[in-house]
Structure 1
C-alpha cells in the first residue's frame, strides 16, 4: 500500500515542529542576549575609563585617579575603584562596604546584563599589572529591554503565525484532491460524464492520487456500463419490433389456425432467445470480471467438450460436414465448461450458418507452450480430410494456452468490419440473419465469456476464402 501521504504528514509535522521550536529557541536566546547587552557606546565609555585608570595606576598618580573617580561620580552618580588581585582597593580608591563581598561577581562590559539585576559590578582587568578597574554600572547604562514582549513574540506569536501558515498549506494540500473528486463526483451524478480526476493532481503519487485513479476507473466503468446498457436497451427495443410485427401480421393474415399458431410459437421462441441472450450480455457487462469466482472453476477435458458440440452441430446441420482436427488429450484446469461450451457452440453455429449447402467447417486446436515453438501432431481426424496446415502450423507463445481455430467456407467479412462483428446486434446481412433466427448477439456473448475465462478471440479472413475465428484459452486459471 502506498504510504506517501502518511510519510509526508509525519515528516512535515514532526520535523517541521522540531525545526520550528529549535529555531525559535535559538532566536529567543540571540534576541535576549542582544537586548540585555550594554550598548556599544556605553561599553566604549567604560573601557575608556578603565584605560585612563590603568595609565594613572602605572604612573602612581593618586591625585589623577581621585579626579577620575570624582568625574565618574559627577557624570554617572556611581562609584568606581581600582582593585588589586586580592580584591583590595588601591590608590586611595574606596569600595562601599556592602559591595566588598560582591567583588568576586564582576562582569565584563560585553557580557549581557539581566534586567532583574539592579546593581551590577563591571570589571575591566588591566593589560599590565595584577589590578582591575571596577565600577558600579550606572543606571543610565543599564539595559532595560521589554523581555516579556520578546518572549511572547518568540514563544506564542511567531509559532502561532508559522503554524497558521503551515496548517493553511496542509489544508490546501489535502483538500485540493478532495475538491477535485467532489466536483468530478457531482459531474458524474448530474451529467454522467466526469472529467478525469487523476491528471488534475499533476505528479502527486500519494494515497489521494491513488484514490483519484480509482475514482477515474470507477467513473469510466460506470459511464461504459450506462452507455452499453442504454445502447442495449435501444437495440433490444428495436429488435423486438420485428417479431412483434410478424406476430401481428400472422394474427391479421388469412393463414389457417395451425399455421398461424406455428408462426406465433416460432416468434415467441425467437423472442425468448433474444431476451435471454440480452440478459446474459447485460449480466456479463455488469460483472466485468476477468477471472472466475472460485466456486465456478472446474477441471475438464476440452477434447470431449468439443466432440459433444460437434456431434450436436452435425445432428442439427446434417447437410454440412464438420472436420475435427485436434488431439484427444486437451485438458483445462480451473476453467468453466458451461461458459466455454456456449462460446464455442455460438461460433460453430455461426460458421455453419454462413457455410454453403454441402460445405464443411474445420475445427483445429493446438496447445501452445511457454516460450516454445510447437508443431501440431497427433490429429485424430486426419483421415477425414484434415488440412495439411493442421500438422504444420508452428506457433510461438509466451504462456501455456490452447489455440482453437474454427474455419468456415462462407463469404468472409470485409477487413474493416472484422472487429465490428463482435458488437451487439451487428449483422452484415440483417435480412438473411433474421430469416435464420439470428440477432447478432452470438459473437458478442462468445467474446465476453472467453475474456472472462482469461482468454481472447478475434477473427480473420482465410486466404482461400471463408472466415477463421481464433480463440486463445489459458490451460489453467489462477486458483
Structure 2
C-alpha cells in the first residue's frame, strides 16, 4: 500500500519512524565509538606485551568519558520518543480542536466564517463536510423564515377582512368574542415572526453599561404608567445589546402582565452579573417553571393566555440569554411571586 504523508496516519507514522531511527543511530554510534573492544585471544598476547605490533582489530579506542555508558543514548531515545509522541498527539488533536471551536461558533452564529479546509486529508474532509452542513443549515433557516413570512402575509389579508365583516354582526357578545379570537391570531403571528427574527439575528459583542440600560427600561415603563423600580449597581459588561434588551423587555412584560409590579435588581461580582426581575404575582409551581420556556406553552390558572400574551416571551428571553453565554432560570419570590434570574458571565466564551 502506497504511503500517503498528507494523512494523519502518514504524518504520525513518519514522525515516530524518524524519532526511532535517529535514536538507534545515536546509540549505534555511541557504543561503536566508546564501547570496549572484544577480549583478545591468548595467541595475541605478544601483541599486547608490545613485542609485536598490535593487530588492527585491537587498536586502542578513545578513552571512555564518565558519561560514556548507556545512560546518554538511552536518555536520548527516551526524550526523542516523548517529543515524537507529543507532536503526534498534537497532530491528532489539532483538527478536532478546530472542528470543536467551529461548532461552538456555529451554535452562536449561523453566519460565522467557514472552517479553513487545510491540513491532512482527514482534516480537510471533515472541514469540507462541516462547511457544507453549515451552508445547508443556513439555507434551511432562511427558507423557513421566508416561508413563514409569506404565510404570515397571506394570513393577514383574510384576518383583516374578517375584522371588517365583524362590524356587520348584530350580536355584540359574539362580535366581541370573535374580535378577541382574531386579535389572538394576529398576536400569535406577530410573536412567531418576532421569535424567528430573534433566532436569525446575530450581533457583535459590545462593552455596555447594563446599569444604565436597566434604569432606562425602568424609566420608560414608569412613563407609560407601570410600576417598575430598579436597584443595585454593576460595572460595564461585554454583551450583545439587542439580545440583552430583548431578554429584559420580555421578562419585564411578563412580570407586569401578571403582577402589575416589577423590581429589577442588579448583583455584580468578579465572575458574573446577576439580573433579577422580581414580581409578587401568583407565581408558578416549581414543576412547571421549566415548561414555560417551551414555545406557546400555556399554564392553567392565573398565568395563562387569558391574561395576555401568546407564550413566546419567556422562550425569546431564555434564547437571548443563551446567545450571550448566560442562563435564565425562575425562582420563587420570598413572600410569594416569581423571580426571573439572568446570569451573565464576565468572561463569555465568545470573547
- Under a length normalisation based on structure 1, what TM-score does the superposition of the two structures give? 0.39
Aligned pair partner of 1:346 in 246, 250, 253: 250
Q: Is 2:335 the partner of 1:468?
A: no
SS at match of 2:284: coil
1:211-242, Cα deviation, whole Å (9 max, x unpaired): 699499869978x969x98xx89xx89x99xx
The equivalent residue for 2:240 is 336
Instruction: Please tell me whether residue 366 in structure 1 is matched to residue 267 in structure 2.
Output: yes
**Structure 2 counterpart SS, 1:8:** helix
Q: How does 1:32-431 map to 2 (within 5 A)?
A: 207=123, 210=126, 214=130, 247=163, 250-254=166-170, 274-286=188-200, 292-293=203-204, 297-318=205-226, 321-327=227-233, 329-333=234-238, 335-355=239-259, 360-369=261-270, 399=271, 401-429=272-300
How far off its partner does 1:416 sit? 2.0
Give the distance between the partners of 2:235 and 2:126, measured in 1 at CA: 42
C-alpha separation between the residues in 1 aligned to 2:216 and 2:171?
A: 39
CA contact (8 A) 2:246 2:317 kept: yes
Quote the offset at 1:278 in angstroms: 1.8
Query: Aligned partners of 1:411 and 1:352: how far apart in 2?
Result: 12
- Aligned equivalent of 2:64: none
Distance 1:15 1:476, change over 3 A: closer
| C-alpha distance in structure 2 between counterparts of 1:440 and 1:218, whole Å | 30
Counterparts of 2:136 and 2:127, CA distance in 1: 14
Cα 1:8–1:465 shift into 2, 3 Å: same
Aligned mates of 1:14, 1:344 — CA distance in 2: 55
Q: Deviations over 1:363-410 (max 9, x none)?
A: 2111121xxxxxxxxxxxxxxxxxxxxxxxxxxxxx3x2101112112
SS of corresponding position for 2:7: helix
Q: Give the Å deviation of 1:279.
A: 2.3
In structure 2, do the counterparts of structure 1 residues 208 and 342 end up closer, same or farther at CA, with 3 Å as the change threshold? closer
Partner in structure 2 of residue 188 of structure 1: none
Structure-2 change in CA distance of 1:439 and 1:248 (3 Å): farther
Structure 2 residue runs of 5 or longer lacking an equivalent are 18-121
Q: What is the CA–CA distance in structure 2 between the aligned matches of 1:429 and 1:315, rounded to whole Å?
A: 32
Q: Distance in 2 between matches of 1:441 and 1:265?
A: 19
Q: Unpaired runs of 5+ in structure 1?
A: 17-205, 370-398
- Superposition deviation, residue 348 in structure 1: 0.9
Q: Compared with structure 1, are the counterparts of its residues 444 and 326 closer, same or farther at alpha carbon in structure 2 (3 Å cutoff)?
A: same
Kindly tell me: are residues 428 and 434 of structure 1, through their superposed partners in 2, closer, same or farther at Cα, counting changes over 3 Å?
A: closer
Question: Structure 1, residues 327-379: CA drift from partner, whole Å, max 9, x if none?
Answer: 2x54223x233322221111011011111xxx64222111121xxxxxxxxxx
CA pair 9-255 structure 1, distance change in 2 beyond 3 A: same
Aligned-partner Cα distance in 2 for 1:425–1:317: 28
CA distance in 2, matches of 1:468, 1:360: 12
**Largest Rg, 1 or 2:** 1
Number of residues paired by the alignment?
237
The SS at the match of 1:362 is strand
Partner residue in 1 for 2:7: 6
Alignment root-mean-square deviation, CA? 5.1
Shift of 1:313: 2.2
TM-score between both structures, scaled by the size of structure 2: 0.51
SS of the residue corresponding to residue 216 of structure 2 reads helix
Structure 2 CA distance for partners of 1:216 and 1:411, relative to 1, 3 Å: farther
